[in-house]
């Protein structure tokens, strides 16, 4: 992908954060994880976090009226290209992003079977400071910044299943939108992180 505006889409635990951060670093793109941004807002008890809390507690996606202005404000401050991890999640979000930009973004979609996703969330940890995703056995602290590693609340079994259903209901039409416009590339997200990244770079 040669575009300087990229969106990373895929089901929960598909590796969007791991692969998106790596690609952004390699290509010198600003990186935004909307999930990490929302979790930080929850911890800080910001107005955005409190508005989003009921949806996140139920394992539902946060409504467009909260997410779109936040992301568009961030995008408007980036001058040298960007990568969005997990946004747009709905068709209206994708349309709003296209309308706000002079250069239409391209989408990278990670495909991972459901059973593999469930296996991954069973042992996933995240740094409370830099939001790096880790695995059980890596130790109590983040190898990147030294922050504390904790399980993600949204990885609880019932919550994760809700998120997976929401993904099918809301995100699959968004993926179809990018495919119809010829601006999508679907990548096999199974295998080691290095194997998947080789496919992502394409």
Q: Could you give the residue numbers annotated as active site?
A: 16, 89, 124, 152, 163
The CA distance from 175 to 187, in Å, is: 12
- Inter-CA distances, 148 with 72, 96, 115, 130, 171, Å: 30, 36, 28, 10, 31
């Amino acid at each position: 992908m040669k575009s300087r505006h990229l969106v990373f889409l895929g089901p929960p635990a598909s590796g969007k954060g791991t692969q998106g951060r790596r690609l952004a670093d390699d290509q010198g793109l600003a990186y935004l994880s909307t999930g990490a941004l929302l979790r930080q807002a929850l911890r800080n008890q910001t107005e955005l976090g409190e508005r989003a809390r009921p949806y996140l507690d139920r394992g539902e996606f946060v409504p467009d009226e909260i997410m779109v202005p936040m992301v568009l404000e961030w995008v408007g401050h980036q001058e040298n290209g960007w990568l969005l991890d997990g946004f747009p999640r709905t068709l209206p979000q994708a349309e709003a992003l296209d309308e706000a930009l002079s250069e239409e973004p391209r989408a990278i979609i990670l495909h991972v079977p459901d059973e593999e996703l469930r296996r991954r969330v069973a042992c996933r940890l995240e740094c409370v400071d830099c939001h790096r995703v880790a695995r059980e056995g890596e130790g109590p602290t983040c190898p990147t910044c030294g922050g504390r590693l904790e399980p993600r609340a949204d990885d609880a079994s019932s919550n994760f299943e809700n998120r997976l259903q929401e993904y099918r209901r809301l995100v699959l039409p968004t993926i179809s939108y990018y495919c119809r416009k010829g601006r999508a590339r679907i990548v096999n997200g199974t295998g080691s992180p290095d194997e998947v990244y080789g496919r992502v770079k394409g």
